[in-house]
Amino acid sequence: MRLRAVLCDHHVFFAALLAVAIHLGMAVPQAASAEPLKILALGDSLTSGYGLTPGEGFTDQLGQALKDVGVRARVINGGVAGDTSADGLARLDWSLADDPAVVIIELGGNDALRGLDPKVTKKNLDRILTKLQQQHRAILLTGMLAPPNLGDEYGASFNPIFPALAKQHDVAFYPFFLDGVAGNPSLVQADGIHPTAQGVAIIVQRILPALRQTIDGARSTD
């Protein structure tokens, strides 16, 4: 009985203390926060961080950029060098093993480099988008442009794939993943394709607003 009285006294004391803290506008300790938002970046070598050291790649820099603006997230590196849209589709299920709420799709560049039929690329990406939407995941689709050396006819067939799919599926869209970097020798590696760490920083800076809108959309549907 004496122990119960002591415990009750402590309960009353802490309740009173909490009331005073609220009245004075003092910060009140919160319960442990929820798990970080999981974001999967599904892509090829541009996502995986080809030629870069740990911390310099797209997912690492994106994770840090989100942290800097107060977004608590874990960015999952789902990039595999050399992957085409077909490869991305084939590994989609196991890439989603961590159950991300948001998925960034960066695929199609290798399709263009190999001169694959744009109709096939579009079909693969359409199937990826369809599956992700059926699972109620928020999506940011990033676009790619065909290399000029493939000719105007190929570019005219390939380049419109991405905005058309974004409109069809009504998902967030970032028109060109390498915007501000492609064609700038100071921002790409010796191969002329893959961005340097500085190039990645520019990509992250430019894509961040679109990603934050996608994240806000995902949270509003929770």
Residue 16 confidence (pLDDT): 45
Any idea where the domains of the chain sit in the sequence? 1-30, 37-220
4, two tokens: 């119960």
Q: What are 193-196's contacts with CB under 8 Å, separation 24+?
A: 194/45, 194/46, 194/50, 194/51, 195/46, 196/52
pLDDT in tens, 87-101: 999 999 999 999 999
SS3 of residue 94 by DSSP: helix
Amino acid at 126: D
**Candidates 44, 45, 48, 85; catalytic one:** 45
pLDDT in tens, 169-206: 999 999 999 999 999 999 999 999 999 999 999 999 99
Q: Alpha-carbon distance 121 to 44, whole Å?
A: 14
Q: Is 194 a catalytic residue?
A: yes
Q: Is 23 a catalytic residue?
A: no
Query: b/e map of 27-53 (b: 16 or more CB within 10 Å)?
Result: eeeeeeeeeebbbbbbbbbbbbbbbbe
**Candidates 44, 83, 85, 194; catalytic one:** 194
Q: Is 136 a catalytic residue?
A: no
pLDDT at 35 over 80: yes
**Candidates 99, 152, 191, 222; catalytic one:** 191
Entry pTM:
0.84
pLDDT in tens, 39-83: 999 999 999 999 999 999 999 999 999 999 999 999 999 999 999
pLDDT at 22 over 70: no
Q: What is the CATH number of domain 37-220?
A: 3.40.50.1110
